[in-house]
Amino acid sequence: MLCCALMACKKNSVDFTFSPTAPKAGETVYFTNQSTSGEDWSWTFGDGTVSTIKSPSHAYKQPGTYVVTLQVDKNNAWKESKQITVYDTIPSYACADSVFTIYQDYTFEAMVYNPYNYDVSYWWHELTDPTAYVMPYFVVTDSVRDAGKLHLYFTRPMEEAPLSLRVILNGDTTNVNKSFNVSDRATNSVLFRTPEDAYRQRIFGARAESYFPTVDTMLLHNETDTVQTYNGYDFHLSALQTVFPGMQGFHIASRKIYYRANGLWVANIDGAYQVQIDTAECYAMTLDTKDSRIYWANANGVWYMPFVGSDNNRFVTVPVQLNDLTPVTKMAADTEKKLKYQ
């Protein structure tokens, strides 16, 4: 009987500690799970937030006394609750994301306790050595740096990408400095050839990394828009010109034919519903069949848009300018998801 009692006591042991024991609002509190059993961790922090991490961390936005509860089973039987008192604030900021990659949108939010509605101002900024790298490592997407929230994306991978927030509250200034590990990520890219050089540009959703002179010259060399095999049939420019007068080049995908002829056009593969996409002279074009996009070049640079999906080829999305690289005489979509940084 004594042995069973000891085993039951050990089995039902639920406990945790936290540090610091007297945190301020905005300060990170680290919770250490010291339970001797249980595999289903369920934390409630008393401010409406929860976690399922075994030993999580949490920052309270406002001072006060909160009840923290840890439950380690699904039957609501093994749990422990403790009070934590959060004292007056030190300004900080946080992001809902914990993993960061380039060209992905993130929102950082200032956490400032201001119950008396004092005047408060914010300023988000980089922390860089101007002699080390001149290009910015993040871009503010809404061009607002003096608000309580900052929307941005990182432009290159860094082990420690610093982001600083200056808060002035009732005349007192606090600088909050943090850094983030930003990783590269695989994505498709497009290659361009101009009379001067050749460039590769990686595509991230609605954005593109600045072009850089590292290309697969063989891919560009083999790219052609005068002949294509589609569904086992060979299509040649000379034959298609009888249906599409003035055609200079073409690509086929999803039973649509995109072609250059006094601008850029799309039509059904049988020639029906010819619709003009761009009235400017088209110098080169290519299709990215993995991301379902068409890219083309005119006198103003390179443009792109999603494949046209309607039966009558009416499109609702408008072309987006990818870059101002001119004159592009040849291009090819590289769907091998190249990584610039390796």
pLDDT for 6-56, tens place per residue?
A: 444 455 689 999 999 988 888 899 999 999 877 789 999 999 999 999 999
Q: Tens of pLDDT along 148-184? A: 999 999 998 999 999 999 999 999 999 999 999 999 9
Q: What is the pLDDT of residue 37?
A: 78
Q: Once rounded to an integer, what is the mean pLDDT over residues 336-342?
A: 68
Asked if residue 57 lies in contact with residue 29, where contact means CB atoms within 8 angstroms, the answer is yes
Which tokens go with 210? 């600045």
- Residue 113 pLDDT > 90: no
| Token duo for residue 243 | 């249906």
- Residue 273 structure tokens: 């519903």
- Report DSSP state, residue 209: P
Establish how many alpha carbons lie within 13 A of residue 97's alpha carbon, considering only the half-sphere containing its beta carbon: 14
**Contact indicator for 252, 230 with CB cutoff of 8 Å:** yes
Question: Where, residue-wise, is CATH 2.60.40.10 in the chain?
Answer: 14-86
Which of 293, 295, 322, 317 is closest to 306 using CA atoms? Answer: 293
The CATH number of domain 14-86, selected from 3.30.70.360, 3.10.290.10, 2.30.29.30, 2.60.40.10:
2.60.40.10
Mean pLDDT to the nearest integer, 266-294 = 94
**Chain centre distance of CA 276:** 32
Q: Where in the chain is the domain with CATH 2.60.40.1080?
A: 92-183
Q: Which CATH architecture has domain 92-183?
A: Sandwich (2.60)
Please, which residues bridge with residue 323 across strands?
Answer: 302
Model pTM greater than 0.95? no
Residue 176 CA: distances (Å) to CA of 92, 106, 110, 125, 173: 6, 18, 10, 11, 10
Average predicted confidence (pLDDT) for the chain: 88
- Evaluate whether 201 touches 323 at the Cβ level (below 8 Å): yes
Residues ≥6 apart with Cβ < 8 Å to 149: 107, 108, 109, 110
